[in-house]
Structures are given as C-alpha cells and as structure tokens.
A and B are shown apart, each in its own frame.
Chain A
Amino acid sequence: MHMVMAVLGVAVLGGLLGLDRTAAGQFMVSQPIVAGPLTGWLLGDASAGFVIGGVLELIWLLDVPVGSFVPANATVGAVSATGIAVLGMPGGATLPVIGFSLLLTAAIGPLTIGADSLVRTGNSKLIEKAAASTVGDRARAISRAHLSGLVVFFLKSFILCAVIVPAGVAAVLLLFDRLPGTVHRALALFVKLLPIVGAALVARKLSMKEFDRFVLMGFVIAAVFGLLIPVPSLIVLLLVVTAGWIGARYSEHRA
C-alpha cells in the first residue's frame, strides 16, 4: 500500500513539474536540479535526489525543447530515476543503485521523446476545435481547448512516471541485487564520473574552442584558491564568477 501511494505521489509530482517544462510558467522547477531533490525529499531521501538532479542537470542542460525540436524529457528522467533509486532501496539509495536507475531512465529517453511528440501532434486538434466554434461561443471554445492542453501535458508526464517508476523498482528488486559486486563497483564509478561527462556536453554545446581560455581561467582560479590555498568552496565560486564577468567585459573591450 505504501509503495502504491509513493508511486502515485511521484507520478503526481512528475505530472505537475512536467507542466513547467513547456506548458505552464517555465519557472524551471522542472529542471533536474530542482525536480531530483524535490522527489527525493518527498520520498524521504533528498540526498539521492541531489546526486541524480546534479548530474542530469549537466547532461541535459543545453537540450532545450525549442521550436519543433523535442529532446528526451529530463524532468521525467530526474523524477523517475530518483523514485526508482529511493523506492528500490528504502534504507538509503547507494551509488550503485543510483547508477542503475540513471541507466534505466536513460534507456527510456526515446520513449519520452515519443510521448512528447505524440502529445504535440495531437494538440493540433485543439485549435481545430476552437476554430470550428460558433460565433458567440468563440472565447469559451478557445479557453476550453487551450486549457485542456494542460490536462494532456500533465497526464503525459503522470503516466510516464506511473509506468516507469514501478517497472524500474521491479528491475532493482529482481535484477540489481543479483548483479556481481564488480558491476556494483562499476556503477558507483559511473555515477562519480557522470559530472565530467555532463561538463563535456555543456562545453561542447557552448561551442567551446579547444583549450578555451575562459575554462582554463576558471580552472586555475578554483585550483589555486580551492586546493593550494584552502578557501571555502562558495568563496572560490564567487571569485570564479567575478573573474568570468571581468573576462567578459575585457573581451568586449578588446573587440
């Protein structure tokens, strides 16, 4: 019963956060860095949500649904991966189970693209309904058709989470524990290295040149102040952001 309620809660959260992705607001609560910790907090293991949200944020950061481009749904990915990891290992999700759930949700990425595309194709009927409305009822028909899109977008994410999470939890319970220790060690290393993969994806999409001087500048500042002269991490970050701003202005000045 507890499991059913938990899955239902995760699916509702996924549905609501999914609305923010494109349909309503776009305040970015749908981003993995928010969606992961929120799901983890709802299920009583925020720590797993932070790990999953952090890595997925980097991996999907620049895959934005712009125009007719539909990327894999990072919101459903973050909510589902956190749900699978936490519900599959109630005592506290370990790194290997987090790695396992991340791979599971990555594998269903194309399914989320298909679901998104299906909804966006089907939505064409909404405007047809509104346009076909009779004079005197047009405003109401437009509002009704438009707002029913919200229900469709909610249901899409809700159903995806409601299907993926229990299937993933079953995979964890039936398969994960039977995997040899070597695979568990590999999965733990996989999670530790994922932020580097995410950083490379961001760098690539930001059109970073080879050995970009701004990346190197940030790296040197962090290495000097964070490692050689131990300064608190937040101060180091502040220095890095400030240096980035100065670098941007200097670049403008030179141009």
Chain B
Amino acid sequence: MNTERKHIGNADFLKVFGRALLLQASWSFERMQTLGFAFAVEPVLRKLYPDRNEYEERLKVHLEYFNTQPYCASFILGAVMRLEEDRATGVNAAADVSGLKAALMAPLGAMGDSFFWGALRPLTALIATAVLLAGVWWAPLLFLALYNIWHVGLRMGMLYWGYQSGGDAAMLLARYSLTRWAKRFKIMSLTVLGGMIGMLPSWRPEFRLHVPVPGVVTAMAGLVLTFALVFVLRRGGSPIKLMFGLALLCLALAYAGVV
C-alpha cells in the first residue's frame, strides 16, 4: 500500500468536471453511463495510484454498471474522488467505492430528474417561449442563460460537495432542497403557462388570429381550448397524433369556409 499522501487539487476537479460533461458520450441501453463514469474518474485514479497495476485494477472496478441523472453524477464523482483518495493514502483502505456508487445513483437520479428535467427546464423554457412569442429575438439567449446558471453552478457545486462530504447526500439535501425547489418551479411554470395564454392577442404577428373580437375574448378562447385539449390528452394521445389531429381540424375548417 502506498502511504504517501496525494492531494486532489483544483486542476483535478477541472479535469473531472470537463470529462463529466461527456458522461453520456457512449450511452447504451445495456450499460448506460458506465463507460462515461470510468472515463471521467480516470485522471484522478492515474494521479492517486502511481503503481500501474493498481491503477488499472481500480479503473476496472469503475467499469461496473452506472446510471443516474447526468448532472447529479457530479456529486457521485466528487464522492468517489474522495473515497479513492482515502483508499490510496491509507486513511480508509477499505473504502467501499462500489457500494457508495450503487447506493447513491438511484436516489440522486430520481431527485435530479424531478428537478432538472421536470421543473427547471420547463420553467426556463416556458419563460423563454413566452418572451419569444412576445416577439423578442433574444429569447433563446435568455433561455440558455437562465438554465445554465443553475445547471453549471449546481453541476460544479455538486462535484465539490460530493468530495467534501464523501458522499453524504444528506449534506446536499440540507444545502439545497432540490425537491422543494422542483415544486416551486412547477407552480411557477403553471403560472407562466397561464400568463403566456393570457398574452395570446399580443403574440408575434405570425401567431396572431385575425378575428373581429376583443383581445380578452381571444385570450379566453385560447384558455378554454387549452383546457379542452388537456381533457382530450387525459384520454391518451402523443404529440405527433395531436399535431396531425390539429392539421385535419384546420383542413376541415378551411374547407368549411371558416378560414
């Protein structure tokens, strides 16, 4: 056992962060992010294990099945960096790295999916789409800025907190209750959605319906139509089917002389 203390420095964090951005480059149904995890953690293993055989052996260990929410993988990567460091330096030679990965990936995956895919992305995209429908050209830039402040900030933060806590997910939850934020963002998304429909008469000219009724009536018709479609969607139907259904309805209206 090599007992010489080796520190993981800022450069290592940057290397792992950069590689974590490619976590899903070889994503497969069978092994999901397995190869990506080994690729991301490799520079740290190379530094911690100067002995070639030990290094290769540790790398092989990280070829076990892995899958979680790709941003939250940073927390597990940070924790693994810490445990591998403890293991390599003899602070905790029996550190169960595989057990930690297995224990964390499912709960972090569920939490990350709910927050990032189910709340942050819908909210930022809805705000940007409402801005775009209002005719503002920089709406896509607004979307990227709003989304990535959270995304990049949390992704970098989680790598660091994972290392600091050694995989204590309770620390992450105490610092940022992502579940609570997810609920807040979902409520805000619904409000923005309502606001977007309320602004229907002042949407970009391409989307304006030229009907001889006051704007409030058009907006209310939009709201009623949205609720009606939600009712229809509850009985099933995919976006593609809905698009073709709408096209057929428009065709019928056009042939009936309504438009």
**Chain A positions near chain B (C-beta within 8 angstroms):** 22-29, 31, 33-34, 37-38, 46-47, 50-51, 53-54, 57-64, 66-68, 72, 95, 99, 102-103, 106-107, 109-110, 117, 120-124, 126-127, 130-131, 135-136, 138-139, 142-143, 145-150, 153, 182-183, 185-197, 199-204, 206, 208, 210-212, 214-223, 226-228, 233-234, 236-237, 240-241, 243-245, 247-249, 251-252
- Contact present for A233 and B132 (CB under 8 Å): no
- Contact present for B222 and A196 (CB under 8 Å): yes
Output the least CB separation between A44 and chain B (Å).
15
Q: Is the interface of B mostly helix, strand, loop or mixed?
A: helix
CA of A174 to CA of B152 in the docked complex: distance in angstroms? 46
Q: Mark B230-246, 1 if CB is under 8 A from A, else 0.
A: 11111000011011101
Tell whether A241 pairs with B127 under 8 Å between CB atoms, given A123-B27, A145-B26: yes
Given B125, B137, B184, B251, which contacts A245 in the complex, CB threshold below 8 Å?
B184
Given B21, B204, B244, which contacts A106 in the complex, CB threshold below 8 Å?
B244
Tell whether A26 pairs with B70 under 8 Å between CB atoms, given A192-B206, A219-B223: yes
Given A63, A145, A190, A234, which contacts B134 in the complex, CB threshold below 8 Å?
A234
**Chain B positions near chain A (C-beta within 8 angstroms):** 21-22, 24-32, 34-36, 38-39, 42, 46, 52-53, 55-56, 59-60, 63, 67, 70-71, 113, 117-118, 121-122, 125-137, 139-140, 143-144, 147-148, 151-152, 180, 183-199, 201-204, 206-209, 215-216, 219-220, 222-223, 225-227, 229-234, 239-240, 242-244, 246-247, 250-251, 253-255, 259
Contacts of A33 in B (CB 8 A): 125, 128-129, 132, 139-140, 143
CA of A161 to CA of B211 in the docked complex: distance in angstroms? 38
Given A27, A117, A248, which contacts B148 in the complex, CB threshold below 8 Å?
A27
Q: Could you list 11 A-B pairs, sorted by A, with CB under 8 Å? A: A27-B152, A33-B125, A50-B137, A58-B129, A127-B34, A146-B25, A182-B255, A196-B226, A197-B243, A203-B230, A208-B230
Most buried by B among A109, A197, A243: A197
CA of A247 to CA of B125 in the docked complex: distance in angstroms? 20
- Contact present for A241 and B190 (CB under 8 Å): no
CA of A50 to CA of B215 in the docked complex: distance in angstroms? 23
Output the least CB separation between B173 and chain A (Å).
16
Measured CB to CB, the nearest residue on chain A to B22 is A24
Tell whether A203 pairs with B127 under 8 Å between CB atoms, given A66-B113, A197-B246: no
Tell whether A126 pairs with B189 under 8 Å between CB atoms, given A199-B197, A218-B194: no
Tell whether A53 pairs with B132 under 8 Å between CB atoms, given A33-B125, A194-B243, A194-B246: yes
- Contact present for A126 and B35 (CB under 8 Å): yes
Measured CB to CB, the nearest residue on chain A to B62 is A142
CA of A192 to CA of B250 in the docked complex: distance in angstroms? 10
Tell whether A201 pairs with B140 under 8 Å between CB atoms, given A61-B125, A220-B198, A241-B127: no
- Contact present for B35 and A130 (CB under 8 Å): yes
Measured CB to CB, the nearest residue on chain A to B217 is A227
Given B118, B127, B148, B259, which contacts A186 in the complex, CB threshold below 8 Å?
B259
- Contact present for A120 and B27 (CB under 8 Å): yes
Question: With A23-B24, A248-B188 given, can you name 14 additional A-B contacts, CB distance below 8 Å?
Answer: A26-B70, A53-B140, A57-B128, A68-B29, A106-B244, A117-B29, A131-B63, A210-B231, A215-B190, A221-B195, A233-B136, A240-B194, A245-B188, A252-B184
Given A60, A143, A206, A252, which contacts B189 in the complex, CB threshold below 8 Å?
A206
Contacts of B247 in A (CB 8 A): 99, 103, 186-187, 190
Output the least CB separation between B10 and chain A (Å).
21
Given B24, B113, B132, B198, which contacts A54 in the complex, CB threshold below 8 Å?
B132
- Contact present for A234 and B229 (CB under 8 Å): no
CA of A33 to CA of B180 in the docked complex: distance in angstroms? 27
Output the least CB separation between B228 and chain A (Å).
8
CA of A243 to CA of B193 in the docked complex: distance in angstroms? 12
Tell whether A218 pairs with B193 under 8 Å between CB atoms, given A127-B63, A146-B39, A237-B131: yes
